[in-house]
Structure 1
Amino acid sequence: MKKKVHYFLTVLALLCIQGMIAQTKTVSGTVTDASDGSPLPGVNVLVQGTTNGAQTDFDGNYSIQASEGDVLLFSYLGMKSQSATVGSSSTINVTMEEDAEALDEVVVTALGIKRKEKTLTYAQQTVGGEELTNTRDVNFVNSISGKAAGVEIRKSSSGPGGSTKIQIRGSKSLNGDSSPLFVIDGIPMVNNKGSQPGLWDGVDQGDGLSQLNPDDIESMSILKGANAAILYGSQGANGVVIITTKSGKEGAATVQFNTGITFESIIDTPELQFRYGSEGGTKESWSTTRGDYDSNYVDDYFETGVNYFNSVSVSGGNEKTQAYFSYANTTSSGVTPMNDYGKNNLTFKQSTKLFNDKVKVTSNILLAQEKTDGRNRAGYYNNPLTGLYWFPRDRNFNDFKNNYSVPNLARNTNEMNWFIADHLQSNPYWLLNEESQEDKTSRVIGSLNIEYDISEEFKFQLRGNYDYAAKEFNNQRNAGGNTTTVPSNGRWRYEKYDDTSVYLDGILTYNETFGEDFTLSALAGGTYQKTTFGNGVAVDTGGSADGLQYANEFYFQNLLPVVQVRSTLDSRVEKQSLFANATFGYKEMLFLDVAGRNDWASTLALTGNDSYFYPSFGLTAILTEMFDMPQEISFAKFRASYASVGNEIPYNAIFPRHSINSDGSVNFNTTKPFTDAKPEIITTTEFGLDWRFFNNRLGLDLTYYNINSQDQFIRINQPIEDYTSFFVNAGEITNKGVEITLSGKPIVTEDLTWSTAFNYSNNTNEIVELHPDTQNIGQGGAEGISIRMVEGGSIGDIYARKFQRDDQGRILLDDGNGRPLRTDRELFGNAEPDYILGWSNTVNYKDWGLNVQVNGKFGGLVASQTEALLDGYGVSERSAVARDRGYEIINAVQNGSAVTQIDPFTYYDAIGGRNGIDEPHIYDRTSVRLAQLALSYNINVDSIDWVKNASVSFIGNNLFFFYKDAPFDPEIQQATGRNNVGIDNYNLPSTRTYGLNLSLTF
């Protein structure tokens, strides 16, 4: 690894030296408005084929480094772009003419349709592809955080390749999914999550997004509400993220090469004590005799992870055919031993015009291979962190690290060497070396798009897509480990399955202008999609009785007859739809948008409700076109919209299946078939403003929304007929919130520009109604802490045990033993933040560039089972501080008398452990962090003919916290599914990354 780093830095230094000796000159001039000769501030000036750019100052002046023969490109919102070739003169003055079409910025919307932004009747926000890659996060989706109002990102604790939870405008379903739909070039993609960890055990097996190459992404358009995503039907009920990939460009071939390296380190391990050990050989460290024990073994466990990024792309073509090709490789060694990740991506995209340019055919294929070894676990069982953190301080950890196994000569196997037999903890290094886990994914996404220009008004588009992912999970636990989960001959868990999606659509579009005042843009079409998830085989030899004939032989022929190789099928869903949309315009100042879609879903087959229709209506008024407004107001728009969308029920609810257990026995279904099921209905009302000021130097986008979700899918656990439970459509949830984006360019000079944007959002969730037969739906938890959905509450409510207190707020102590008393579980608060803030900054000074992202989440709660058990085992630093002073400080009362001091063990034994008082281990979720930083320098490479552009960047992610209350990163999730929101249960600590990236254009 050192050789690789040395080679990387040597090449980087040589390029820098070559760039510094290159010869260029300063080209300057003035850009003016052709209509009145006034100077134009903020005009973008770019050397074609490079990233070398500048902007005009308040007087319209600019200055840029260029060479003779270079082409300068001048662009400005509302003006026709200009170009000029650099000659012998060092002065180039430019006049720019108004371009009415340029004022209508085009954005990508539902089904990949491009529309003028000013005509949109709903909230939409775009994140550029470079914003996803400029700091090289291995899980690139995390880079969206803070860049779009109303979008919340939470990452898992599993390390490289782990899944990411994305939620737009809060949770909308009690039992269904609230994740948005992801779309690639207009076509829905499969973003299935693998298994998720729970309280006791498990790993996060990643998701479909992790398999994409971020360098292939041109932009991400986020359609936030059902209003925006109506054309995707029930799939888009929770919002849509549209990924537009890069395409070939007309002209000579351009090669883009990126290489980078980042280093990753732990930033917030728990505060542990190493001066008090155990007494009498116990597993807890509750001695009151101070010692000097080795603390390095916890720090030594964690390593410095190294991430390598390499990608190359080629783009080019002529006026008929354009092509794009790319290859990318990502490799990572995590911050824990034996954790490695690798990903390879290959992309080819081609567009060709045929039949006098009336037909355009675009084909695209994306290939990905992903492999992860030793994913980090969460929960108690088989998690190295429990044994690592709890190990008694007076013992020698290195004895167990260096000799994690001892031979069993009678069986010719090894056994775990650990100081105690405890179902909750194991030797960390046994788990790393003797309980391997590997998961692999191979994926192909192929698509074909045929566009036919029937006439100037009519256009027809036909698209097809095939998305296939083959997944394999292999967990081999050698004999001799923790007997709670590993029988005497070992345990084998193996899964191999496929996820497949076939998608077809046809869309007819019509655009016409009637007279001088009226316009119509309309489309109609239909879709067909068939998805099959989890289709394969699985085996689990079990955690109690032996399922293997011979120890540590993990293959099918070694399975005992009691173990069955099971066929698996998570879901098979077919959906057909028809849709239409029309936008009526009047004088480019009023736009009325009407849309509708009808779905036929197999998940509702034979219920009589398998066909369901939902409409959408929207209105936009361009106030600056309707009224004379002050010159300072460049653009003003008001929008309003309404939509009603169905959210389908889960697969296999209508006729639940029987299943086969691992021993071959039948697990009979006990839930009554849901033969009168109907889809959940999500209704959204949205109002918004989009205002720009001072020649578009300042922008304000404000949105208010009200989302109502009815007919929730709920299981009632009560006997009915011959069953023990049944399903109903009932319940109501509301989400109300405000989103604000404030953007601006405070500084625009010849050498210095500063662009900034604030994204603010808040969401209030309420469970208005459940069902008379169930007033409490579980959402996970950890021992004493539970996450519950209760009528009148909110999704994510935390119920926990508090201190009993008197009227003065003093803690009540037991009259006899003096232990703090606790309440039953009661509502403590909610895991969701009150509001979210993201602050993005881009500063350019000559050849230097700086990108800074600061993210903050304010309010909400997180609960830590980790901290509770550290207290119970006497290994937390606070428990040692109390022993140092001889007591813990407390504001309490016992037998009517005030108490200010309490015995440390009495206090921490009461609040710690698996079932203690939860209150001390619930924290404010508020945190403010430096989420991203990229400092770049454009290297002058004019003396190198074959290099068009070169830049080097120092990059960093999650560098530090400005503020946080919790003793861990509150945004790290045990799981990214529906359950266990806001729970820390021996999650991998948060990490920071920092490194270098080199970008070359040929």
Structure 2
Amino acid sequence: MVYICCFSLTVFAQTQFVVSGKVIGADKEPIIGATIQDKANKIGVISDINGNFSIKASSRNATLHVSYIGMKSTEVKVEGKSTLTIVLEENTVKIDEVVVTALGIKREAKALGYAVSSVNNETLTAGNEQNVMSAISGKVAGVDISSTTAGPSGSTRVIIRGNSQLSGSNQPLYVIDGMPVDNTELEGAGKWGGYDYGDVLSSLNPDDIENISILKGPSASALYGSRASNGVVLITTKSAGKKKGIGVEFSSNLSIVKLLSNFDDYQRVYGQGRDGRPPMSPETASNTSQVSWGGKLDPSLEANIYNGELRNYGNVNNNILSFFRTGITTTNAVAFNKTNDNTSFRVSISDMRNWDIVPESDLNRTSVSFKGSAKMTKRLTVEAQGTYSYETVKNRPALSDSPSNIGNALIGIAPNFDQKWLAANYKDEAGRYNDWNGDKYRINPYWVINEMSNKSKRDRLMGQGRVYYSFMDCLQASFKAGLDSYTFRFTDFTPMYTPGFVDGLMKEMTNNVMQYNFEMMLRFQKRFKDFDVSAFAGGNVMRYEYESMIQTGQSQVIPDLQDITNYSSIETEHALVRKAVRSLFGQVSLGYKELIYIDATFRNDVSSTLSASNRSYFYPSVSGSLIFSNLFEHKDWLTFGKLRGSWAKVGGDTSPYQLQLEYGLKAYTNKGTSLGYIASGSVPNANLKPTSTYSFEVGLDVRFFDNRLGLDLTYYQQTTKDQILSLPLSQATGYKRAVINAGEIANKGIEASLSFVPVKTKNFTWDASVNFAKNYNEVVKLHDEVKDFELASARWANASIYASEGQPYGVIVGKKLKRTEKGDVIFENGLPTFDDKVSVLGNGNYDFTLGFRNAFTYKNLSMSVLFDMKFGADIYSMSAMQSHVNGTSKETLEGRQEWYRSEQKRQSAGVPAGNWIATGGYVGKGVMAIKNDDGEMMYVPNNVCVDPAKYWQALQTTSPEPFIYDNSFVKLREISLSYTCPKKWFVHTPIESITLSAYGRNLLLIYSNVDNIDPESSYNNGNGQGFEYGSLPSRRTFGFGINVKF
């Protein structure tokens, strides 16, 4: 018996053969986490932090299968060797593409049961766009990116798969290297005017970014909790890389900024004045600088202008264009990196300077970043990184309905009125404002840029530290601590004598934001024969603090002294907001034979903004994928095929201080004692419960012919319920609004990405891709007593943006033109009639979007071309409305000469206007009601001639319908060309590579339905999209760059 046992042990020892070794890449750097599996007994291990492994093979002749995400799998025969060095090559076919997912974890894309889109640095920086998110416009399906016309100092609005929040932000959570950052936008422009103050993304240097991953649905973003209910944008910054030694990289770019178009396609027949006559005195000239109902333009004539001078009455070419200057943007950056066996770090410094197309408007931004890691022991790794940016902006342009909005002043100038005349006469000898148009809501643009001023400073510090400890090859613990802090200071100066502010005004605003994140996580990863198992669990604590101080000074004491203490009346507003969220989260992932993958996640948040009974809320998600291409043995035509599906629930909290009344102190006192008051205008609700979002998603990912053709399809449904809203109340209650849980919004849609390689030879490759997205949105339910929720309004134009039950989110509403059952407009006395109640007139959201990108590579020369297309949205252009009222629109020419002739006949005949039937004029297209011979009402074509000026002016404050346009457009968004010099040029030099580039961005507006504005012009970046007023011309950029690596 003893003999038999010894014999058995001997045989077992002979069959169990221990193999040790190291897994490295083509660059000879170790690969951490590679899977090594014996094909016979299915025993598998994972390489450690140095790439080392040890496995008990089934025999001396065993075959090992070695794989790692993003690398080509390989099989190695042991052949009796006890030590192996295994080299893995990069997978150029990208079946095993690696993407960054929630919590910064890198995973194979094929294992995911939900859609994730990625943009690499090369694609991101092709057009040298300085705003990170604007740079990916048109490059990702299902992501709608827009911005105001504020230029490089402005913010970006990013909406993933439609709007889902009635109040608060619909924008995603931004996560930089695994840590959430604050991207809260200050209250910007609206119906009372204002500015675009920019956002966190404007302080990031695109050259420092390695990759952007976009988690589109709740299934992808659920692990980030309630902050991620609108999706997540994961930004991964560059690190030192694996190459040992010291590296230096320098890049420099120079961009020339022009207007996208002149935007001056107006009538050039009639000039300044009224009733067909030019201004005959300085008084009438002062009130008609922006009124073009005068006489016919004639360069041989002269007419009065606002200061009493006589000026030529001919047409002025390029009148709007000549106000703006050629903008210039320079960017310079240098990066240093060093890597050795145990440490690596990267330091970068960048400087960006912009002189905008708006005169006297400039921006300077400097940023410094550091990222490093150190292997303290075999099992302990420490990482740290930080970014500091300092930005100054001089004279952000005013937007929307601001009296100082330059666009509002320029769009109405009469075609004979040279805007350059305003430059020399905007103030008198005493420094007082010269009135040029009799309108305090449209200030002389030269007074705005030379006398009024604003300036801002933004300091931002983002940093984090991470510690990783490996208990064993398959078990790792990590701890992260992150800080996001910034201070924003803004000063707005309005001098004495400014219309509407004759005594002067000054506003100083300081905002401080601090956000801390602390996170611990334990992660397990191991292969058991045919099964890949990974799991992690952890916790997060987030603390957020926002403090605001606003001082407003009125009645300036000493002229020209810009100091808040130089005002006789100073009001101070102070706000302090604090919030905390504590969370537990976890995920379990299973994979079987690289065929089936299943993920299940959970998260539980405890929010300080909800009551004790509701502040803890739990939400799960589940997703899976089937790699059906692995079911077929002979599939030369099918490179890869995957079906995926997911379901998720995500909770959401609210802003602080909604549960109880807020109290404050008045600025004045009674007998030395400050008086208190109820600061909140809303009825609080101590029983608020979390918002819930439910999502379902299915998708198909197929690739053919060695990745020459690929298609990714996604269908999704998403419903957000129990939204936390502030609904209007009767003021008889003593409050303006009440905070309640109400509202349900549904989104559903499809996304498609098609990639193909039409041509691929030894030296030439043509890559093409098309992305398509269509989202259908509906406000399913608001409240039993409230059917409409206002998102935005135009204060004098009788138009609003609503969320209305049964309608898409963000419809444009206003009084509609009265029509017959056949749709004909009903006229009365030659003017259109209007409904008494408001109706839906349009929808500010796009039906579908398209992006089409082509990339060509010939040897060392590369070129890419991007077209960006959006269709189906509507826009109420108040600029167009104003041009009709002022008489500059080409449409106002119809009937004008006929009306003037009719008036001449009337005056010659001595007939009062009320007794005269016009013989010519504007005849509106529609019908009018008359009585037939039987006394019954009937409709006949309208034939009443009216003064065109009165016709268009009648529409100014009654119905926006005639000025709502289809806002579809097609743009040539980007072209880039780059050449990398051959390496042989730099033999025996420290230079590693030199790349020269030329680029253009926002180059051409190919198709649009709205005259004289960029279709992407927007009132603001808030939830109420669909308004435009006084938009500045959009910017077109051309530039050149150089990148040198040592």
- TM tier relative to shorter chain: 0.7 to 0.9
Partner of 1:851: 864
CA distance in 2, matches of 1:659, 1:393: 53
Would you say 1:566 and 2:573 are equivalent positions? yes
Map residues 705-854 of structure 1 onto 2, 5 A cutoff. 705-718=716-729, 723-782=735-794, 783-814=797-828, 816=829, 818-824=830-836, 825-854=838-867
The residue identity in structure 2 corresponding to 1:781 is S
What is the CA deviation profile of residues 558-602 of structure 1, one whole-angstrom value per residue up to 9, with x for unaligned ones? 343x52333233x31111100010012222211121110000111
- Secondary structure (helix, strand or coil) at the match of 1:160 reads helix
Partner of 1:40: none
Which stretch shows the higher mean deviation, 901-910 or 702-711?
A: 901-910
What is the CA deviation profile of residues 883-930 of structure 1, one whole-angstrom value per residue up to 9, with x for unaligned ones? 3676557432234442478546256524653x1432221111211111
Partner of 2:952: 909
- Over 3 Å counting, the alpha-carbon distance change for 1:99 and 1:373 in structure 2 is closer
Q: CA deviation at 1:398?
A: 3.8
Partner of 1:555: 563
- Over 3 Å counting, the alpha-carbon distance change for 1:455 and 1:598 in structure 2 is same
The residue identity in structure 2 corresponding to 1:706 is Q
**The one of 891, 911, 927 aligned to 1:893:** 927
Q: CA deviation at 1:942?
A: 3.2
- Over 3 Å counting, the alpha-carbon distance change for 1:696 and 1:397 in structure 2 is closer
CA distance in 2, matches of 1:918, 1:202: 23
- Over 3 Å counting, the alpha-carbon distance change for 1:276 and 1:912 in structure 2 is farther
CA contact (8 A) 2:878 2:963 kept: yes
What is the CA deviation profile of residues 253-298 of structure 1, one whole-angstrom value per residue up to 9, with x for unaligned ones? 2222111111111124242345321135143221244432434442
Partner of 1:328: 350
CA distance in 1, matches of 2:230, 2:647: 15
Q: Which has the larger radius of gyration?
A: 2
Partner of 1:421: 438
CA distance in 1, matches of 2:192, 2:323: 22
Partner of 2:256: 263
Partner of 2:997: 953
**The one of 312, 332, 337 aligned to 1:310:** 332
Partner of 1:354: 376
Partner of 1:449: 466
Partner of 2:545: 532
What is the CA deviation profile of residues 205-247 of structure 1, one whole-angstrom value per residue up to 9, with x for unaligned ones? 0001100111110000111011001110101111101001100
**The one of 375, 389, 394 aligned to 1:373:** 394
CA distance in 2, matches of 1:803, 1:48: 74
Runs of at least 4 residues of structure 1 off by over 6 A?
46-49, 75-78, 95-102, 661-665
Would you say 1:685 and 2:685 are equivalent positions? no
CA contact (8 A) 2:649 2:694 kept: yes
Q: CA deviation at 1:984?
A: 0.6
Partner of 1:497: 511
Partner of 1:28: none
CA distance in 2, matches of 1:899, 1:426: 40
Which stretch shows the higher mean deviation, 340-349 or 192-201?
A: 192-201
Partner of 1:27: none
- Over 3 Å counting, the alpha-carbon distance change for 1:726 and 1:253 in structure 2 is same
- Secondary structure (helix, strand or coil) at the match of 2:1031 reads coil
The residue identity in structure 1 corresponding to 2:778 is E
Map residues 232-243 of structure 1 onto 2, 5 A cutoff. 232-243=224-235
CA distance in 1, matches of 2:103, 2:188: 31
- Secondary structure (helix, strand or coil) at the match of 1:872 reads helix
Q: CA deviation at 1:785?
A: 1.9
Partner of 1:433: 450
Aligned length: 899
CA distance in 1, matches of 2:663, 2:446: 40
Which stretch shows the higher mean deviation, 726-735 or 870-879?
A: 870-879
- Over 3 Å counting, the alpha-carbon distance change for 1:77 and 1:188 in structure 2 is closer
- Over 3 Å counting, the alpha-carbon distance change for 1:450 and 1:809 in structure 2 is same
Partner of 1:115: 107
The residue identity in structure 2 corresponding to 1:813 is F
Partner of 1:584: 590
The residue identity in structure 2 corresponding to 1:588 is E
- TM-score (normalizing by structure 2): 0.82
- Over 3 Å counting, the alpha-carbon distance change for 1:554 and 1:79 in structure 2 is same
**The one of 960, 969, 972 aligned to 1:918:** 960
- Over 3 Å counting, the alpha-carbon distance change for 1:168 and 1:852 in structure 2 is same
The residue identity in structure 1 corresponding to 2:476 is K
Would you say 1:299 and 2:360 are equivalent positions? no
CA distance in 2, matches of 1:901, 1:213: 62
**The one of 423, 430, 433 aligned to 1:401:** 423
Map residues 186-335 of structure 1 onto 2, 5 A cutoff. 186-250=178-242, 251-268=244-261, 269-274=263-268, 275-279=270-274, 281=284, 282-283=287-288, 284-291=291-298, 292-335=314-357
- Secondary structure (helix, strand or coil) at the match of 2:749 reads strand
CA distance in 2, matches of 1:916, 1:847: 61
The residue identity in structure 2 corresponding to 1:684 is S
What is the CA deviation profile of residues 758-784 of structure 1, one whole-angstrom value per residue up to 9, with x for unaligned ones? 111111011111101211110113222
CA contact (8 A) 1:563 1:663 kept: no
CA contact (8 A) 2:684 2:738 kept: yes
Superposition CA RMSD, Å:
2.7
The residue identity in structure 1 corresponding to 2:383 is T
Partner of 1:71: none
Would you say 1:164 and 2:164 are equivalent positions? no
Q: CA deviation at 1:175?
A: 1.0
CA distance in 2, matches of 1:177, 1:678: 18
CA contact (8 A) 1:278 1:393 kept: no
CA contact (8 A) 2:651 2:692 kept: yes
CA distance in 1, matches of 2:317, 2:898: 21
CA distance in 2, matches of 1:184, 1:392: 50
Partner of 1:939: 981
- Over 3 Å counting, the alpha-carbon distance change for 1:297 and 1:742 in structure 2 is closer
- Secondary structure (helix, strand or coil) at the match of 2:896 reads helix
Partner of 2:20: none
CA distance in 2, matches of 1:394, 1:650: 53
CA contact (8 A) 1:530 1:574 kept: yes
Q: CA deviation at 1:870?
A: 1.3
Which stretch shows the higher mean deviation, 292-301 or 970-979?
A: 292-301
- Over 3 Å counting, the alpha-carbon distance change for 1:710 and 1:500 in structure 2 is same
What is the CA deviation profile of residues 373-414 of structure 1, one whole-angstrom value per residue up to 9, with x for unaligned ones? 111111232212222232345556444321211144xxxxx2
Q: CA deviation at 1:633?
A: 1.1
CA distance in 1, matches of 2:267, 2:702: 56
- Over 3 Å counting, the alpha-carbon distance change for 1:112 and 1:402 in structure 2 is same
CA contact (8 A) 1:642 1:685 kept: yes
% identical aligned pairs = 30
- Over 3 Å counting, the alpha-carbon distance change for 1:674 and 1:629 in structure 2 is farther
- TM-score (normalizing by structure 1): 0.86
Partner of 1:182: 174
- Over 3 Å counting, the alpha-carbon distance change for 1:353 and 1:878 in structure 2 is same
The residue identity in structure 2 corresponding to 1:512 is K
CA contact (8 A) 2:494 2:506 kept: yes
Which stretch shows the higher mean deviation, 399-408 or 358-367?
A: 399-408
Would you say 1:512 and 2:518 are equivalent positions? no
- Over 3 Å counting, the alpha-carbon distance change for 1:262 and 1:908 in structure 2 is farther
Q: CA deviation at 1:196?
A: 0.8
CA distance in 2, matches of 1:721, 1:185: 49
Q: CA deviation at 1:48?
A: 13
**The one of 596, 604, 618 aligned to 2:623:** 618
- Secondary structure (helix, strand or coil) at the match of 1:166 reads strand
